[in-house]
A and B are shown apart, each in its own frame.
Chain A
Amino acid sequence: MVTLTIDGKTVRVPQGTTILEAARTADIRIPHLCYLKGLNEIAACRVCCVEVEGERAMVTACNNPVQEGMVVRTNSPRARATRRVNVELILSQHDCKCATCVRSGNCQLQDTANDLGILEVPYETQLPQGLRMAWTTTYPLYHDYNKCIKCMRCVQVCDKVQSLNIWDVAGTGSRTNIDVSGNRVIKDSDCALCGQCITHCPTGGLRERDDTQRAFAALADPDKVTVVQVAPAVRAAWGEALGLPRELATMGRIAACLRRLGFQYIFDTTFTADLTIMEEGSELLRRLKDGQLERWPMFTSCCPGWVRFLKGQYPQLTGQLSTAKSPQQMFGSVAKSWLAQKLGVEPERIFCVSIMPCVAKKAESELPTMATAQGPDVDLVLTTREFARMVRSDKLTPALLPEEPLDDPMGVSSGAGVIFGATGGVMEAALRTASYLLTGANPDPEAFTAVRVGPGLREATYDLAGTSLRCAVVSGLGNTRRLLERLLAGKVHYDFVEVMACPGGCVGGGGQPIDKEDRELGSTRGDQLYQLDRKAPLRFSHENPQVQALYREYLGQPLSHLSEQLLHTDHKGWNMPGEA
């Protein structure tokens, strides 16, 4: 333990603790912008500078460990002056038009500047102009050079957590900025579109392409029948963006909001999560029986970030992906076929919107393989954040709205579908149903919880009616890369592997609300989904009555010709940039 004095307070902390964390234990908050614990402790913004007795220069609190007897002052005149000037300098290269910024009210720079009471910046505004600030407007990920404060967090998240190295420092001198690495443009890069850079950005430097106005336009179009689906992980997070307590932020209130926004049919992606289990579970058993999994496992295919990663990094393994479409895309297919038939409207009139915790879903919905002659299966994808913006735009107050039911038939779901939103959930749901399909009896729904929690990679082997199934669950693309390398080196063998691109699964998705305090909320949100599952009247995908009806009335059975046509896809039918 080390004893030191911060602002006159005696503090005792373990050796190796940074000044910033030591101060935090004494309820002394040192402002900071670039610091992200464990990931970006690089002292770039110099906002956390403090005065340490006996040191010549100011010392950054974020990356320097405490020393015995150290005397630290966080609010000395010199510390105040340092902090203020450095924030003013950052503001001089920041587009300060907060009124038109997606992060206004949820921006660490805005807060810091406001707290410091900076009413004017004494320096000239220096913002890149013309081509130097140009970014594609059609790509799902948007980088605003003028709002970026070069904190490098995006670089670190992408390098260290996701292992894709999409971002890097570019340019020279005062023109230094953050750009796509290797002198590429984003459209030509192998970005998985996980969106982790967005959720770790302290300002509006990164965001999703904003599609809210297209959604409002569709709602205003009398010829369109608007159908909306809500992904499982959205219900565990949307309230954060609206200041709604967790217990009030229910699926029923999402439905109430969507109805007031004008959506005609409000459904749940968990319905097609259950459908995915039927298709993917059946496919797994077929592949297992056919001996197709002897060398490599079958991979889940519901996460488009993961699919992009695999195709971009290990295209030789693309064939191991389940051919099942993701729940979002199955939803689109079913909405524009079975549902259209049931509602008696032409598929072309259905405008299918999805609300997703994800940025890659925007790209997935635009794939050429995810459309028919009637148009794309899913017309528009909104992130959880965009949905919250629409709610705010209409001045809805969800806390005051009643919980409302979803619509039939695609609003019915099981707890197995709900846990799709957390890492391990797809695996667990699939095992529940696979076990039923092999034994004819439901297993204990809690039988497969070993794949739920733990480090980035979990492994478990289950015996399903005499068939031994070696399973692995992984989330985060860095973890995924390590797993694939071990797999390719022949060090591990599995039959079935669930991969989610975002750490913690969709609950930690790149389209989720951004926490201003930099807390990683994935596991809190995941717990909420597992709670919903525990309380759900249905725990098994195969017991979803509307899924049963869909097979009975329309598809026949899993992997039938029509199922294959509507619910499965060819992952080789499109290419990642640079993929031959």
Chain B
Amino acid sequence: MSRLSIETPDKAQTVLSGLYRDMGRRISASQPGLCPVDMSLNFLRLCHAQTCGKCVPCRVGLGQLAVLIEHVLDRTATLETVDLIERTARVIADSADCAIGFEAANMVLSGVQGFREDYEEHVLHGRCICGLSHPVPCVSTCPAHVDIPGYIALVREGRYEDAVRLIRKDNPFPAVCAYVCEHPCEAQCRRRMVDDSVNICGLKRFAVDHSPDLPAPNRAPDTGKTVAVIGGGPGGLTAAYYLSLMGHTVTVYEQRPKLGGMLRYGIPDYRLPQQVLDRDINHILSAGVQVHTGVSVGQDISMEEIQRQYDAVYIAIGAHTDKKLGLEGEDTKNVLSAVELLRDVGEGRAPDFTGKRVCVVGGGNVSMDATRTALRLGAEQVTCVYRRRVEDMTALGEEIEEAMAEGCQILPLQAPARIEADSQGKVAALWTRPQLIGAYGRDGRPKPGDAAEQEFRIPCDYVIVAIGQAIEAKPFEPVGVSTVRGAIQADLTSAVPGVDNVFAGGDAVSGPATVIRAVAAGKVAAANIDSYLGFEHKIRCLVDIPPAHLTSTPPCGRVNLKNRHLTDYRGSFELLKQGMTPEEAAQESSRCLRCDHFGYGIFKGGRSTEW
């Protein structure tokens, strides 16, 4: 008999491990609108199956909690039952011997507290509060509700023009979004239950890259109404496009020399080439939108005058001013804001960082753009300094990985302390305080705190601050537009409360967000401004959608876009990401499960053909 042997998982364990992965994917692909009480019950059951059976609260308590929640769903409970669930869960959370028990109870507890009204509705009326507002997961999670299964089916058929036409019904920036959309649609793609989400964004890019430029559809007859749009970014231009198609006379006021807003002045060319942006803008302008560039509202023309001159006004100014660190030495020469840097590059006034060492402060997407741009401007060394851990950065994982792959350094857990200047008043170093990651805060993220370590000096020539943007709302205040915590106040219909014909949306209202959110806000504004002007124009697209294939394809890997690989990124702002090959696009589009046809889609209408 040997004293020890090497342990290998048996067959059952191997299969089970695979099921854990499948279940994890499946849970994260849950469609919006599920009943939180039923989900809680079944999470709890899963937890209970994990119990070792030793301690009472976990072995018995979790089971009893499940029985009680079952009563709630069966409408055999009273409001006291909900109290009993809460009391019991609290004791289990307090007294179970290990995390299997106390964390399970904590999940129930956060549910009873977080969605008690759902529990109560079940008890009192036997109903769920939640409900599916849109039955197709990708369409419902896309802020602009683009008909995704529709255009993927068109790509599969090789009908790229029609695919782009269909996208433009809900989003006049198909090309831009094909390159830089954060694609929230993919997060809950039902294909994740099979293998992985469909590469929706990549297929859109294939459609856009293979479709010729198309003129805008015919405008509705002239209404005689005039609308001013302040801000020529994605939100403003979306509203302008649809309002113009509806027959209104639309004028866009843009303070920069060119249209595009953050798309032109915030997103670097290696992610979004300017000619791609121009394709969308030219299409939008072909709908008859008038443009005044280089006009700053508040300086060149007053808001009062605009409000007087036009029947309706949409404020979509975005968030273009930078936030300050509030550090000692921040006004030292060569301290730049990321917004400023990216704007200068966009306008062709790129600084030369050749041979310089650059520190970027911040962990969001703008910080990654600044980091990678600094490298392309010739910097010898670029260090991104962030006070939390890499996994806490808000930038997309892909952006962080690419920045690192290109040779940028990420220095986590360093909080900027002060900026040291040299004798000429230029940046000499960034001093940071090492951080210790700690307890979770209210936002659900672990909070950093000062570590018991010495301050750290990072010698550098430039410091770029990328810790968020703010808006400049002063020029709009005279007509009654108000701001709270730096955001313009507007309701969910885009109307500015108390100001009759003024609407607002996009980053200026929501705070810095994504292109597709700005587009969605512009779409909402267009619809509501049209109603405000007394019309009910419909935006529709008459492209017919190919019928779904009878059954779905078996599990198949997702096609990801590849980056061009360069030995040195310095000086190159060329597009990095390569589109799919026709072979890849054909395979990838066949992975779509057509939730517009299968499942709830065909019952509740998988498609809205107009809005």
Show the binding face of A for B, using Cβ within 8 Å: 41-44, 52, 55-57, 59, 63-65, 67, 128-132, 152, 168, 170-173, 175, 179, 183
Q: Across the two chains, which residue of chain B brings its CB closest to A64?
A: B550
Q: B554: CB under 8 A from chain A? A: yes
B547-567 vs A, CB cutoff 8 Å, 1 = contact: the mask equals 100111010000000000000
Q: Is the CB of B603 within 8 A of A170?
A: no
Q: 13 A-B contacts, Cβ less than 8 Å apart?
A: A43-B602, A59-B551, A63-B602, A65-B547, A67-B550, A129-B76, A130-B74, A131-B76, A132-B74, A171-B126, A175-B38, A183-B121, A183-B125
Q: Across the two chains, which residue of chain B brings its CB closest to A16?
A: B547
Q: Label chain B's interface by main secondary structure.
A: loop
Show the binding face of B for A, using Cβ within 8 Å: 34-35, 37-38, 42, 73-76, 121, 125-129, 131, 547, 550-552, 554, 598, 602-603
Contacts of A43 in B (CB 8 A): 598, 602
Q: Is the CB of A56 within 8 A of B552?
A: yes
Q: Is the CB of B73 within 8 A of A172?
A: yes
A64 vs B602: C-alpha distance when bound (angstroms): 11
- Known A65-B547, A170-B128, A175-B73; further 10 A-B contacts with Cβ < 8 A: A59-B550, A59-B551, A131-B76, A132-B74, A168-B131, A171-B126, A171-B128, A175-B38, A183-B121, A183-B129
Q: Is the CB of A55 within 8 A of B126?
A: no
Selected from A44, A56, A131, the residue in CB contact (under 8 A) with B75 is A131
Report the minimal beta-carbon distance from B133 to chain A, rounded to whole angstroms: 12
Q: A41-B602, A173-B35 are in contact. Are A132 and B126 (CB under 8 A)?
A: yes
The 10 closest A-B pairs by CB, nearest first: A172-B35, A172-B38, A42-B603, A131-B75, A57-B551, A55-B551, A183-B127, A56-B551, A132-B75, A59-B550
Q: Across the two chains, which residue of chain B brings its CB closest to A63?
A: B602
Report the minimal beta-carbon distance from B354 to chain A, rounded to whole angstroms: 58
Contacts of B38 in A (CB 8 A): 172-173, 175
Report the minimal beta-carbon distance from B140 to chain A, rounded to whole angstroms: 16
Q: Is the CB of B74 within 8 A of A56?
A: no
A75 vs B74: C-alpha distance when bound (angstroms): 39
Selected from B37, B42, B127, B603, the residue in CB contact (under 8 A) with A179 is B127
Contacts of A152 in B (CB 8 A): 603
A113 vs B409: C-alpha distance when bound (angstroms): 69
Q: Is the CB of B603 within 8 A of A44?
A: yes
A128 vs B73: C-alpha distance when bound (angstroms): 11
Contacts of A131 in B (CB 8 A): 75-76, 126
Report the minimal beta-carbon distance from A301 to chain B, rounded to whole angstroms: 31
Contacts of B75 in A (CB 8 A): 130-132
Q: Is the CB of A56 within 8 A of B554?
A: yes
A43 vs B606: C-alpha distance when bound (angstroms): 14
Q: Which of A59, A168, A183 has the most CB of B within 10 A?
A: A183
Q: Across the two chains, which residue of chain A brings its CB closest to B125?
A: A183
Q: Is the CB of B128 within 8 A of A172?
A: yes
Q: Across the two chains, which residue of chain B brings its CB closest to A489?
A: B536
A65 vs B552: C-alpha distance when bound (angstroms): 16
A175 vs B76: C-alpha distance when bound (angstroms): 13
A43 vs B600: C-alpha distance when bound (angstroms): 10
Contacts of B76 in A (CB 8 A): 129-131
A152 vs B74: C-alpha distance when bound (angstroms): 22
A41 vs B128: C-alpha distance when bound (angstroms): 26
A173 vs B547: C-alpha distance when bound (angstroms): 29
Q: Across the two chains, which residue of chain A brings its CB closest to B37?
A: A172
Q: Across the two chains, which residue of chain B brings its CB closest to A171?
A: B128
A175 vs B598: C-alpha distance when bound (angstroms): 21
Contacts of A52 in B (CB 8 A): 550
A352 vs B100: C-alpha distance when bound (angstroms): 70
A41 vs B605: C-alpha distance when bound (angstroms): 11
A42 vs B75: C-alpha distance when bound (angstroms): 30
A57 vs B593: C-alpha distance when bound (angstroms): 13
Q: Which of A57, A65, A130, A172 has the most CB of B within 10 A?
A: A172
